[in-house]
C-alpha cells in the first residue's frame, strides 16, 4: 500500500475579484489543517456607492422618466442580443455599456443626469436605436411594436 505524503504550504493567496483570501497552514491529503483565513477588500477604483440623489431637474430625479429610460435601454439590450452578431468574438462583440457611452457622447452628460427638458430627445434616440436592430427592423416590417409608448408603460406600472 502506497502512503501519500503530506505537503506543507507556508502561504497561499487566492485572488477572486475584489476579495483576497490568504490561507496559511499545512495541507494533508488535500485538506487544510490548522488554517487561518483572512479576507481583505481591495479598492477597485470605482465609487463605492451611488450618489444619494440625482440633481433637481435631471431625468434621474423624476421616477417616471428614469424608469421609462431604463425600460428602453433594457429593450435595446434584448433586441441586440437577438442580433446575429451578438456573442461573436473579435471586433463585433457586444458591450452593454456602449449605449450609455453613446448617450453621454451625444447629450454631453451621463444618462440619468440629462436635463428633463431633453427627455423627449433621449427617448427618440433610444427608440431609433431599438428600431435599427435586426429584430427591430423585422418587427416594424410585420407591424409589431418594438416598445410600449410612455403612456402605456406608465399605465402598466400603475396597474402592478
What distance, in Å, lies between the first and last C-alpha atoms of the chain?
68
118 or 1: which leads in pLDDT: 118
Q: In 1-139, at which residue ranges do the beta strands (DSSP E only) sit?
A: 7-16, 19-28, 31-41
Taking alpha carbons only, the member of 61, 20, 56, 11 closest to residue 41 is: 20
Do 32 and 63 belong together in one domain? no
Share of the chain above pLDDT 90, in %: 51
Q: Is residue 115 part of a domain?
A: yes
SS3 of 84, please? coil
Is residue 110 over pLDDT 50?
yes
Q: Is residue 113 part of a domain?
A: yes
Give the pLDDT band (50/70/90) at residue 81: confident
Phi-psi map region of 96: left, alpha, beta (phi>0 left; psi -120 to 50 alpha)? alpha
Least confident residue range of 34-43, 76-85, 121-130: 34-43
| Region 80-87 average pLDDT | 73
Total number of domains in the chain = 2
Q: Is residue 146 part of a domain?
A: yes
Do 75 and 152 belong together in one domain? yes
Range of the domain at 33: 7-41
Do 135 and 73 belong together in one domain? yes
DSSP state of 108: S
Amino acid at each position: 500500500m502506497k502512503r501519500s505524503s503530506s505537503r506543507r504550504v507556508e502561504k497561499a493567496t487566492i485572488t477572486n475579484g475584489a476579495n483576497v483570501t490568504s490561507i496559511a497552514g499545512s495541507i494533508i491529503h488535500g485538506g487544510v489543517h490548522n488554517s487561518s483565513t483572512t479576507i481583505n477588500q481591495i479598492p477597485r477604483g470605482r465609487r463605492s456607492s451611488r450618489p444619494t440623489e440625482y440633481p433637481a431637474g435631471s431625468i434621474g430625479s423624476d421616477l417616471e422618466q428614469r424608469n421609462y429610460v431604463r425600460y428602453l435601454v433594457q429593450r435595446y439590450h434584448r433586441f441586440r442580443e437577438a442580433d446575429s452578431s451578438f456573442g461573436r468574438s473579435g471586433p463585433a462583440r457586444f458591450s452593454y455599456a456602449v449605449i450609455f457611452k453613446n448617450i453621454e457622447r451625444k447629450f454631453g452628460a451621463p444618462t440619468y443626469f440629462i436635463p428633463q427638458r431633453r427627455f423627449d430627445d433621449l427617448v427618440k434616440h433610444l427608440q431609433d436605436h431599438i428600431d435599427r436592430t435586426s429584430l427591430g427592423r423585422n418587427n416594424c416590417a410585420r407591424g409589431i411594436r418594438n416598445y410600449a409608448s410612455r403612456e402605456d408603460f406608465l399605465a402598466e406600472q400603475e396597474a402592478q
